[in-house]
Structure 1
Amino acid sequence: MRIEKRLQDSRAMMYLSPLLALLLTLVSGALLFALLGRPPLGSLYTFFIAPISDLYGLSELAVKVTPLLLCAIGLTLCFKAKIWNIGAEGQFVFGALIGGAVSLQLADSEGVWVLPVIIASGALAGLVWAGVAALLLTRFNANEILTTIMLNYIAVNLLLWGVHGPLKDPEGLNFPESALFASQTLLPVLFEDYRVSIAIFIALFMLVVIWVVLTRTLLGFQLRVMGENHNAARFAGFNGKKLIWLLLLFSGAMAGIAAISETNGPVGQLIPTLSLGYGYAAIIVVFMGRMHPLGILLASCLLGLTYLGGEMTQIDQGLPKSITGLFQGMLLFYLLACDLLISYRLVPGSNQTIKEHKV
């Protein structure tokens, strides 16, 4: 067998690649569980099926999907234009830090304006954090991959400083966490006894917004052209720097809102372990979803399920929580590998046979 470049990319493999990656992840996961001395099929059931086997599990899936989807929405527009924002995690954390600080300041405030101000503060914080990367890229041509990754670590350390310092609960028995947020600063839940909040509607609304932007607006056309060829976009008269600023700021704002959906939703306070990797997992969501709104929604559900499955496996199988990251890593690895089949294909024969034929 030899690898041959296709005359044009395979549209079928574009959509089959994520399914094939998921299948390979399941096979590898079963093998992993077997090597760990756990029943493979039973463990896969515990990881992928048991967490959503009842209504409460489905509601918890919606809780996990919400921040993933919000982060992925912002990243989709960036990646569509080949602006490689790897900093959604840092923008999420910084949005949580500032949004949490505002929530604590408004603990004694009342009124319908409280929640909008908190959501706006989180969005603005994420926007500002992404703006640092936009400035470095447009002014100094600094690689956005490197700058956004480094900003992630800075944001995490700022959060640690906050919960160990000025935002630490004075009555928290010296635990590094903030006070619990007041009830009026929390996002309303949809149903009693469930944790899913109105943030899921914000995420779904923004999903429709980016679908309209990508398919029905001039901006969507500009993003596609810029993604195909930056030089072509410049020759067409598109303002590349303006687009970079717009995309990174929007992506940061979405990550900041995602942070509020978590801190002012199920968590209800600032804690040092707030960073669960939603910003990184959202990158997998975007590529698995093929940068299409419906695909992003489905991929968010799958990645959200890995968080629930990891927690369930810890409880039921006694495995470490790193099992979640392991499954996410396998999924990304196989997705990248399977994506090669979009532009290349396996055909019978060998390179040696071709050389002999040419001679």
Structure 2
Amino acid sequence: MYLLEPREKPSQLMKWLSPILALVAMLVVGSLLFLILGVNPAKALYIFFIEPLTSLYNLSELLIKASPLILIALGLAVGFRAQLFNIGAEGQLTMGAIVGGGIAILFHNQMGWWILPLMVVMGAIGGAIWGLIPALLKTHFNAQETLTTLMMNYVAFFLLMYLVNGPWRDPDGMNFPQSVMFSESATLPLIIEGTRVNASIFITLVAVGLFWIFIRKTMSAYTLEVSGQAPQAAQYAGFSARKAIWLSLGISGMMAGIAGICEVAGPIGQLNPNISPGYGYAAIIVAYLGRLNPIGIVLSGFLMALIYLGGELAQMELQLPVAITGVFQGLLLFFLLASDALIENRYRFSKKKNKTTTVTTQAASS
């Protein structure tokens, strides 16, 4: 039997060190897993975490994978600060890609500088609307946003499947579920020749700067944080809980939508069922691993991108299954949550006391 006791003053230093502890624990358990699979742990860890940093092309791929993760995690961090748990970034990314990509398909035979900016704006709107639907359900019907955002991921994915298998399918695509390739006016320009690095990294840099200003300088960020951590105090101060919900889920959806359009207008160049390898889910880990801080999110975004890239190299060089990437992501999240739980609480083990029952009988005289 154990007792759970919240600590009066959790260590702030340990809160910032817990991601490092989680990373070390992930590496230890990952090494044991490689041993069980009959793979040299030193070689496997080198391929996973060192080899992706040894060439210009791999470094460029690291940038490509980190950019959407950082964008989505920044949006999720806004909601998490308000204790709103948006699990629907994957669907919001998909809707951003659909709405923004629809502009590219609509103006496929036209050229113009305005097409790409319009795609980004429409992608942001599409993702925001997909985030605001759960906000509506929560504020008017008290529906849990965790469940509604998660379920809407599937709706967005099947809508994408319908479009690329039906009205938006490329007639010259040999029956593959994909749209036409986007025109030059509808794709992000490359900034490093010989790689896939494109202008989306500038969008990410701007988003990081704006997020830092938002959480440090604006009253809205303070309102969101107070609403999440002390709802009664927020209500007493006159802060609107409904406004916090709309703002949080709207911003989260918008950022995921921008990430979606950056993917289809960048390295992918069209709509297809594989526009995301799970960025919307992985970004949840990125946000928490980065302590909901913009600099921390950038660092954790690169770490998660490294795991994605290392997993691809491990599949090719060690013939490991594709699930190995998800295993490392899951281990990292598990140990991060475990570290935070131990930092916030103290667990004490105690012996179970034996309970005795005394029965007293009374005799009644007639």
Tell me the distance in 2 between the aligned counterparts of 1:234 and 1:353: 42
3-state SS of paired residue (2:266): helix
- The one-letter code of the counterpart of 2:265 is N
The 1:171–1:238 alpha-carbon spacing in structure 2 relative to 1, beyond 3 Å, is same
3-state SS of paired residue (1:109): coil
Aligned to 2:92: 91
Question: In 2, are the aligned partners of 1:66 and 1:261 still within 8 Å (CA)?
Answer: no
Q: Does 1:165 align with 2:166?
A: yes
- The one-letter code of the counterpart of 2:73 is A
Tell me the distance in 1 between the aligned counterparts of 2:235 and 2:337: 30
TM-score for both structures, normalised by structure 1: 0.94
Aligned to 1:79: 80
- The one-letter code of the counterpart of 1:343 is E
Question: In 2, are the aligned partners of 1:93 and 1:259 still within 8 Å (CA)?
Answer: yes
Aligned to 2:357: none
Render the CA deviation track for 1:20-63: whole Å, top value 9, x for unaligned: 11111111111111111111110011011111211211111110
RMSD: 1.8
Tell me the distance in 1 between the aligned counterparts of 2:250 and 2:221: 16
Q: Percent identity?
A: 48
Aligned to 1:16: 17
Render the CA deviation track for 1:220-259: whole Å, top value 9, x for unaligned: 2112211211222111101211221122111111101000
Aligned to 2:326: 325
Aligned to 2:57: 56
The 1:353–1:133 alpha-carbon spacing in structure 2 relative to 1, beyond 3 Å, is closer
Q: What's the CA shift for 1:352?
A: 4.7
Question: In 2, are the aligned partners of 1:13 and 1:341 still within 8 Å (CA)?
Answer: no
Tell me the distance in 2 between the aligned counterparts of 1:108 and 1:291: 42
Where structure 2 has 5 or more consecutive residues not aligned to the other structure, the ranges are 354-366
Q: What's the CA shift for 1:91?
A: 0.2
Aligned to 1:357: none
Aligned to 1:281: 282
The 1:2–1:245 alpha-carbon spacing in structure 2 relative to 1, beyond 3 Å, is closer
Aligned to 1:119: 120
Q: Does 1:351 align with 2:350?
A: yes
Tell me the distance in 2 between the aligned counterparts of 1:182 and 1:259: 17
3-state SS of paired residue (1:224): helix
Tell me the distance in 1 between the aligned counterparts of 2:161 and 2:225: 39
Q: Which stretch of the first structure deviates more once superposed, 93-102 or 253-262?
A: 93-102
Q: What's the CA shift for 1:315?
A: 0.6
Aligned to 1:241: 242
Question: In 2, are the aligned partners of 1:168 and 1:178 still within 8 Å (CA)?
Answer: yes
Aligned to 1:255: 256
Q: Does 1:38 align with 2:39?
A: yes
Query: Which segments of structure 1 move beyond 6 Å, counting only runs of 4 or more?
Result: none
Tell me the distance in 2 between the aligned counterparts of 1:199 and 1:327: 27
Question: In 2, are the aligned partners of 1:80 and 1:224 still within 8 Å (CA)?
Answer: yes
Render the CA deviation track for 1:289-339: whole Å, top value 9, x for unaligned: 000111001010011111101110111011121111111011111111111
Q: What's the CA shift for 1:197?
A: 1.2
Aligned to 2:297: 296
Say which structure is richer in helix: 1
Question: In 2, are the aligned partners of 1:156 and 1:275 still within 8 Å (CA)?
Answer: no
3-state SS of paired residue (1:266): coil
Tell me the distance in 1 between the aligned counterparts of 2:105 and 2:32: 47
Aligned to 1:193: 194
Tell me the distance in 1 between the aligned counterparts of 2:129 and 2:98: 13
- The one-letter code of the counterpart of 2:259 is A
Aligned to 1:313: 314
The 1:140–1:353 alpha-carbon spacing in structure 2 relative to 1, beyond 3 Å, is closer
Q: Does 1:212 align with 2:213?
A: yes
Render the CA deviation track for 1:158-214: whole Å, top value 9, x for unaligned: 111111111111111111111111111100111111111111111111111111111
Q: What's the CA shift for 1:5?
A: 3.9
Aligned to 2:149: 148
Render the CA deviation track for 1:42-85: whole Å, top value 9, x for unaligned: 00110111112112111111100111011011111111011111
Size of the aligned set, in residue pairs, is: 353
Tell me the distance in 2 between the aligned counterparts of 1:53 and 1:153: 38
- The one-letter code of the counterpart of 1:351 is S
The 1:230–1:3 alpha-carbon spacing in structure 2 relative to 1, beyond 3 Å, is closer
Render the CA deviation track for 1:245-295: whole Å, top value 9, x for unaligned: 122111111101000111110011111122311011110011000001110
Q: What's the CA shift for 1:123?
A: 0.7
TM-score for both structures, normalised by structure 2: 0.93
Q: What's the CA shift for 1:345?
A: 4.3
- When Rg is computed on C-alpha atoms for both structures, the one with the higher figure is 2
Aligned to 2:359: none
Tell me the distance in 2 between the aligned counterparts of 1:336 and 1:165: 43
